[in-house]
Each structure stands twice: as structure tokens, then as C-alpha cells.
Structure 1
Amino acid sequence: MELASFLAGERWSDHPACTHPLLAGVAREVNDRIGDEARNRIAPLVTEVIGLDSDDPRFAALLAREVALAALPVAAEDRQRTAAVGLMTCERVLNELDGRPLEEVSPRVRTALADVPLARNWAREFCGIGFGTAERFGRRSAPIIVHSALVGIAESTVGDSEQRLVDLLRHVVAEAKGWTHHAAAAVGAEEWQEACDLTVSRSRREWRRSARLH
């Protein structure tokens, strides 16, 4: 996200204004939970997220739903329950925004929940609590759903958690581009190299600062 901020002409930040905050949060957390080799696999997504934003309140619910769906089959029991609650909440938000009955469940989510009946049944205890406004959901609930799901994937025992996180980030970026009809930014080779050099320089300074403190 720091590379994206630089290439977008913003101040250096991992919270760039050019990318939807929830999507940027997914990218930051995936980046932080994978190793250097896997980070090389997500680097090409930098240009894809520049300008990838939306003020549609559906965006947060759609994105959180995709992340929770990825976590549901592999997360430990507590995270699985949270993912199931998150899925049901996302469904309710989308139903309200689209004028459908609140209790309606999309086929994908119904199938996913059917595979984890204990988590599904536990989550049903909470589905009537409500989520407030869609705007509040986007600011507060969606980031919690996303964070818990990503932790669930990263800490899972499936053995390929890094690749799952890489694949998930690729997937949600592609989905988000479809939701927003977004075209990737064109970045020249010189701009890209300058951004990479700047990243390396900052990383070295931060390492030296950390070494002095310890």
C-alpha cells in the first residue's frame, strides 16, 4: 500500500486515499502475514489497487463476505464461528440495501454454511441482533470480520496458508475491479523502479533505527 500511495502521487502512507480503506486493510494484513517470497507474488497487485475505491455501501459487505467465505472452511472453531456470524451479517446488510427480505441467504453462502453446521447454528443465535446502519457496518463491523477471517486463514493448519492469503488477495482485487468497473493504473518502468528503490531505502533506515534501539 505504501508503493500504491507513492505511485498515485500521494504522501508515503500505507493508508492511501486512492484505495478503498477496507481493501487496503486486506492488502496490509495479507502482506504482514506472509513471507518475502510470497510478497513477490502480490507485488503486481500494487498498480491494480490504485484508484480502486467506491462510495457504494455494498462494497464493504461484498468484500467482507468474500474474505469470510475463504476463512470458513479452514479456520479454527472460534474463528469459524466469527466468520459464520460475519457472513450472515453481510447478507443482512446486502439484503437491506437491495430491498430483499433480511433473512434471505444467497446460494453461495447457504452452501458454505451447510458445510459447517455447528458454526452455522451457533451464528444463528446472533443474526437477530442487528448491525446498525450500512455506513456503521462499513466502518466498524466489516473490518472486524475481515481481520478475524484473515487471522483464521493465517493460523490454520491446512499447510498452505500463505498461498491461500495470496490467492485471496488476488481474488478480492479482481472482484472489486468488477464491482467498480475499475481499470488498472498505467505505471512506467522508471516509476516502478523508483518506488521499489524508495521502499528498500526506507526499510533499511527502519532496520537501522530498530537495531539502535535494541
Structure 2
Amino acid sequence: MRTDGIPDGLPVLSRGKHRTPRKGACFMEMASVLAGEPWSDRPRCTHPLLAQLARLVNDHTSDEGRARLVPLIPEVIGVHGEGFEWEVGVVAAVGCQAVYDAPQEAQHALAAGLLRCQELSDDAADHEAIAEALELVPEAAAWARSFIDGAPPLKPRSFQRHSAPAVLLSAVRGTSQAAIVDPDAHLHVLLRTGLDAAHRPRTSTRAVDPVHDVLRDRHAGGRRR
């Protein structure tokens, strides 16, 4: 069966990292093939932040539900980000989508992450979306404000190295553990949300090295997810 943009004969998507296509393929390994790059779950064709989201969704989706992710693979190819504002926007969009359904611990972490995104973003649409998301979870929002109160402003590099990956992990893990019908469908929406945010035009106003370089250095040497 051929899926739009995906040629026949490629491996079935499965969880984890694979040494060769004969062992299977995850979402980003399939993307590396379609991009004509060497086999990798961290191909250069995709910004590492978006690639991390795709790997997390791939790994937390059930074997039965993972096939629904395949049509989204071409959309990560050639997405390299547009600077720090872009990175904050992607993280904020994913956090906003996940925060309502997530269990309490993940909800608290996501609310804190969204407040940090609000501090760092210059985008009015991000501020509005974050405010609306936090209104839906007043207990978590209050906890997060108390937790952050008195802390120094978050530096962009710290956001890139720690907060952004942590928010994505909490969003995906929280969605997979949520008391909802069909968590696979919700994970699909989460990735769809990240992709839509990644493709939304933005203007970066901050002179900061992109998270692309930070995460690539962090994962140098082919470390496992």
C-alpha cells in the first residue's frame, strides 16, 4: 500500500532506534531515507527539536496506531527552524495542546514550561495561546507560578538545553498516560500541532545560537534516545 509521498517497500514503523532498515524503522529513520541521507534517527534534514518530538511520538504510540503517523513523515524533511523565536513557538504549541489532558505531574511540568515560553516569546499569538491553555488548568497554573516565583529569568541557552526537551517529553509522555479515549489519536494530533507550529512563519528577534546546534552537539556520537 502506498501512502502519499511514501514509496512502497519501506520498513514498517516501529519503536526505538534500528541499526539497519532490516531491523525496522522509526519515524525519523524513515525521514532520513526519504531525504536521501545516511540512515539515522537524527538526520540533518530536520531541526533536532522537531525530530525529538517525532521520535517521542513514534515511541509512545502503540504498534497498532503507529501507521497513522506515516503520512506526516514528509512534512519534517527540510524543516531547519527559523531561530530562537521559532523554537519557543514550537514548544509552546505542543505544551498548550497537551496540558489539559495530562496527568497532574506532567500537567504541573507543562504549566511551568508554558510560563517560561511566555517569558521568552515575543509572539502575540504564542502569548494568547498560552494564556488560554493555562486558564483551562488553574490548579496547575497556580502551582507553576508559585514554583517559578522568585526564580531568575530563564536564559535562552538554558531553555534550549533543558526546558524545551523537558516540555516535549512531558507533553508526549503525559498524553500517552492520560485517561483519554484513543491516546494514539491524541499523540497524532500532538505531532500535527508541532508540525503546524514549525511551518508557521515567524521572525526571530534574538541573537542566540539555534537549538539545532545545541541538540546536535548533545547527541553527537549517535547516542540513543
- TM-score class normalised by the smaller sequence: 0.7 to 0.9
Query: Aligned equivalents of 1:9 and 1:88: distance in 2?
Result: 39
* CA-CA distance at 1:38 after TM superposition: 2.0
Taking structure 2 as the reference length, the TM-score comes to: 0.71
Aligned counterpart in structure 2 of residue 156 of structure 1, from 178, 185, 189 = 178
- Tell me the number of residue pairs that the alignment of Structure 1 and Structure 2 aligns: 174
Equivalents in 1 of 2:67, 2:134: separation in Å? Answer: 33
Gaps of 5+ in 1: 181-214
Q: CA deviation digits over 1:115-158, x for unaligned, max 9?
A: 21111111112154245432331222100111011111100011
1:172 aligns with 2:194: yes
> CA–CA distance in 2 between the matches of 1:10 and 1:146?
25
The equivalent residue for 1:116 is 137
Letter of the structure 2 residue corresponding to residue 147 of structure 1: L
Dislocated runs of 4+, deviation >6 Å:
none
Instruction: State the match for 2:83 in structure 1.
Output: 56
Structure 2, unaligned runs of 5 or more: 1-27, 203-225
Task: Report how far residue 108 of structure 1 moved.
Answer: 2.2
For the Cα contact (< 8 Å) 1:131–1:137, is it kept in 2?
no
CA distance in 1, matches of 2:168, 2:152: 18
Shift of 1:55: 4.5
After superposition, what is the alpha-carbon deviation per residue over 1:33-68, rounded to whole angstroms, capped at 9, x for unaligned? 112332221111111111111240112211111111
**RMSD of Structure 2 on Structure 1 (CA):** 2.1
- Superposed counterparts of 1:196-207, under 5 Å: none
> Does the aligned pair in 1 maintain the 2:81–2:87 contact within 8 Å?
no
* Percent of residue pairs identical: 38
Greater CA drift, 129-138 or 35-44: 129-138
User: For 1:119-158, what aligned pairs fall within 5 Å after superposition?
Assistant: 119-125=140-146, 126-130=148-152, 132-158=154-180
Q: Report the TM-score when normalising by structure 1.
A: 0.74
